[in-house]
A and B are shown apart, each in its own frame.
Chain A
Amino acid sequence: MNTFFAVAIGLVASYLGYTQYAKRIDRDVIQADEKRMTPARLYTDGVDFVPTSRNVLFGYHFKSIAAAGPIVGAITAANLWGWVPAIVWLVLGVCFIGWVSDYSAIMLSIRNEGHSLSAIAHRLIAPRTRIILFVFIFFYLLLIGGAFGGILADVMNAQSQAPLGIIVLMAMALLLGQMLYRWHMSLIPATLIAVGVTTAAILAGPASASFFKDTLGGGINSLTGGAPLVQYFDPTVADPNTGLVVGAERQILPSFVFWALFILAFCYFGSVLPIWRWAQPVVYIGFWVTMVAMLLGLGGAALAIFVKPEVGVLKLAAFKGWDAGVGGAIQTIWPMLFVTIACGAISGWHALFGSVGTARQIEYETDALPVGGGSMFMEFLLGLLALLAVSTGGGGGAGAFANGLAGFMNVFGIPVEYGRALAFVAFTVIVLVVTQLVFRVMRVTLAEWLGESIPALRNIHVSTLVSLALALFLILTGTWIYLWQLFGGANQLMASLSLLVVTLWLVSIGRNAVWVGIPMLFMYVTTVAANVVTAYNLYITVFVSNVGREGRMIPTIGSALMIVMALLLVGAALVIAYDGWQAYRRFRTQPAIPVAAGAS
């Protein structure tokens, strides 16, 4: 199997899913009408409600949803179950569920005066749904902070060619914000300076590797004489020779903790500084770095069969088995694959963001499908690229991804060494730009949720530090795969909630809701099951194997905390299911709201 055929399958599946299914639903069920006023045109205020061209909005929405989620998920799933199950879920997920979630959340908001998903859920289901959504969001953010923070610290510690690019990125971000907002420079020269210098630093990364690895890393580790700070058993480590999941004892060295603190310091600035000073420039520069890497990668993956066929051969096992669990853990394809690959197939975050941001900028109702649904189909391609990169790269995790992407870039003549450096930094940056903003939203959520009872949390520094401390604790537990799967569970539960709200809305107006209802039921049952399984896995493989052992307090307490989170999410999901069923019965017994011109 060659990457060319995988890319072709992806493109054909996307085309068929969009033209044969999505367009039919948009035309016949939702009946999008370009003559109907949208909130952007009705409530234009030049700030939130701004009618925007569909092409601009497509680029904006796609950039907002396409990031680390589809990449990390695809890498993880391929390592656990092989590339075939991963590609099947990516294709089927995006064609029948992913675009449905993104598109329907946007249309829901458009037909309800631009209200957010939270506000509509409050009205359609029950007031407490809004609170439950807050709970989902907070834990979702905490889990992603822990999972991504752990990945980043691991990459920065192990891949010593990466730190220089990140440090220069920080400096250039500060400069870019200053150039644009204070010195009023034009965007193009400012971009050339900031992105150019950052790219040069990335390419100089290999030359700085020995400093970061030996001088800095070695010096920090010598503080404890090379002894680890934390030890734990990771049940998801794969044998580098066979690729099978066997589990292994892992050690957290002082250098890992140093980089974890470095990443969290980065995130602290992202949380407390004005958005234009730090976070936005970081995202912008990071976008260019990753976009270049991804475009070269996708092009190389498609052309490898013609130029360098050996690069496009999938080395990873196609199918590793129905259950990748070890040490008593359950890692069956159902339900775990469906939360391991979240974004790329379906994501609740997209629905949340789409209903708040994008829906208020849609100029004509007929733009909703290409913007919302189209962006999701494009994000699927990003997940596919990550899957192909890790499947051709050999090895495991981020290393395999970087090897594979470097191979694809080599199709265009870029030396593998530089390609690897660019791929590692692109991976690091794409994860970092998400992580730094996650804590910004976390502090707001924390303040909103607990600010009344604990006024100190209303202080941005206090709430940020509390969020960072919680994430650091999760990072040090080392069980990032479970963090990732719990995050996927929280993300998909938000997607289920979004689909539930859309289902109830369609029922309330007497429209066909099957195309939303069935995906909603599937995602709901699957993610609840996945959260229960993850809680079980944490108990059996982490808590039980570490409790009572000397020096294992962090993994023990961390796993207990995560089990509680998993069960909280399950409990919240059951409450939503009950309220949703009550709401469904209400809408089924009352007459459908007549659909008048200009109304929903």
Chain B
Amino acid sequence: MGLRTALGEFLYGMTGYEFARQASHMRHELGMAMMLLSFGDMVGLPILPPMYALRLLPHVMLDIEPWKRQLLRERFALDNEEFDLIEM
């Protein structure tokens, strides 16, 4: 990889990357809410699957395992508090 590309990526990492991460976090939160409402019974929540759940299933098939893993992963209490922004 050339020096110019490496420098560009380094600058991106210092500037725009955190916005991309924040945007993906925000989108993910909405997606998580949608998945919980539609497929929450898969992770043991007492949610009656909505009538369109089966219609959505083929579209989210590949995302179910990562979603379960993400949802049920043990978390450190401060995991979501944007450690990356707290420069020390």
Interface residue ranges, A against B (CB under 8 Å): 43-48, 50, 53, 55-69, 115-116, 118-119, 134, 137, 144, 180-181, 187, 191, 275-276, 279-280, 283-284, 287, 291, 343, 347, 349-350, 352-353, 356-357, 430, 433-434, 437-438, 440-441, 444-445, 448, 491
* B78 adjacent to A47 (CB under 8 Å): no
Contact of A45 among B6, B13, B69 (CB under 8 A): B69
* B78 adjacent to A56 (CB under 8 Å): no
Tally of A-B residue pairs with Cβ under 8 A? 143
Contact of A434 among B16, B17, B67, B86 (CB under 8 A): B86
**18 CB < 8 A contacts A-B:** A47-B24, A47-B70, A55-B6, A56-B9, A56-B13, A57-B13, A59-B10, A59-B12, A64-B84, A68-B88, A116-B79, A280-B18, A284-B18, A357-B83, A434-B88, A441-B78, A444-B81, A491-B88
* B74 adjacent to A119 (CB under 8 Å): yes
* B86 adjacent to A356 (CB under 8 Å): no
> What secondary structure prevails in chain B residues at the interface with A?
helix
* B85 adjacent to A275 (CB under 8 Å): yes
Q: Which chain A positions have C-beta within 8 A of B76?
A: 116, 118-119, 356
**Also in contact, A59 and B17, with CB within 8 A (given A68-B88, A353-B86, A437-B85):** yes
* Size of the chain B interface, CB-CB below 8 angstroms: 39
* A65 adjacent to B88 (CB under 8 Å): yes
| B53 CB–A CB distance under 8 Å | no
B1-17 with Cβ < 8 A to chain A: 1, 5-7, 9-17
Q: Which chain A positions have C-beta within 8 A of B83?
A: 64, 352-353, 356-357, 441
Contact with A along B23-49 (1 / 0, CB 8 A): 111101000000000000000000000
Q: Which chain A positions have C-beta within 8 A of B18?
A: 60, 63, 280, 283-284
* B87 adjacent to A63 (CB under 8 Å): yes
Additional A-B contacts beyond A47-B28, A63-B18, A65-B87 (8; CB < 8 A): A44-B66, A56-B10, A60-B14, A276-B22, A280-B82, A343-B88, A356-B79, A434-B88
Q: Which chain A positions have C-beta within 8 A of B78?
A: 137, 356, 441, 444-445, 448
Q: Which chain A positions have C-beta within 8 A of B15?
A: 59, 187, 191, 284, 287
Q: Which chain A positions have C-beta within 8 A of B74?
A: 115, 119
| B77 CB–A CB distance under 8 Å | yes
* A445 adjacent to B19 (CB under 8 Å): no
CB distance from A438 to the nearest CB of B (A): 7
Q: Which chain B positions have C-beta within 8 A of A287?
A: 14-15
**Also in contact, A444 and B77, with CB within 8 A (given A59-B17, A66-B87, A275-B22):** yes
* A67 adjacent to B19 (CB under 8 Å): no
* B70 adjacent to A279 (CB under 8 Å): no
* B70 adjacent to A280 (CB under 8 Å): no
CB distance from B87 to the nearest CB of A (A): 3
* B84 adjacent to A69 (CB under 8 Å): no
Q: Which chain B positions have C-beta within 8 A of A430?
A: 87
How many angstroms between the C-alpha atoms of A437 and B14 in the bound complex? 18
* A60 adjacent to B13 (CB under 8 Å): yes
Q: Which chain A positions have C-beta within 8 A of B77?
A: 134, 444-445, 448
Contact of B13 among A48, A59, A291, A352 (CB under 8 A): A59
* A59 adjacent to B88 (CB under 8 Å): no
Residue of A nearest to B79 (CB): A356
* B12 adjacent to A56 (CB under 8 Å): yes
Counting from the closest, the 5 A-B pairs by CB-CB distance are A59-B13, A67-B87, A55-B9, A56-B13, A59-B14
Contact of A47 among B9, B25, B81 (CB under 8 A): B25
How many angstroms between the C-alpha atoms of A69 and B28 in the bound complex? 33
Q: Which chain A positions have C-beta within 8 A of B24?
A: 46-47
Residue of B nearest to A355 (CB): B76
* A48 adjacent to B70 (CB under 8 Å): yes
Q: Which of B24, B70, B78, B85 gathers the greatest number of chain A CB atoms within 10 Å?
A: B85
Residue of B nearest to A288 (CB): B15
Contact of A437 among B12, B25, B82 (CB under 8 A): B82
Contact of B85 among A56, A69, A180, A283 (CB under 8 A): A283
**Also in contact, A280 and B88, with CB within 8 A (given A59-B14, A353-B83, A444-B81):** no
How many angstroms between the C-alpha atoms of A66 and B26 in the bound complex? 26
Contact with A along B52-80 (1 / 0, CB 8 A): 00000000000000110110001011110
How many angstroms between the C-alpha atoms of A59 and B84 in the bound complex? 12
* A441 adjacent to B81 (CB under 8 Å): yes
* A349 adjacent to B88 (CB under 8 Å): yes
Residue of B nearest to A270 (CB): B85
Q: Which of B1, B16, B23 gathers the greatest number of chain A CB atoms within 10 Å?
A: B16
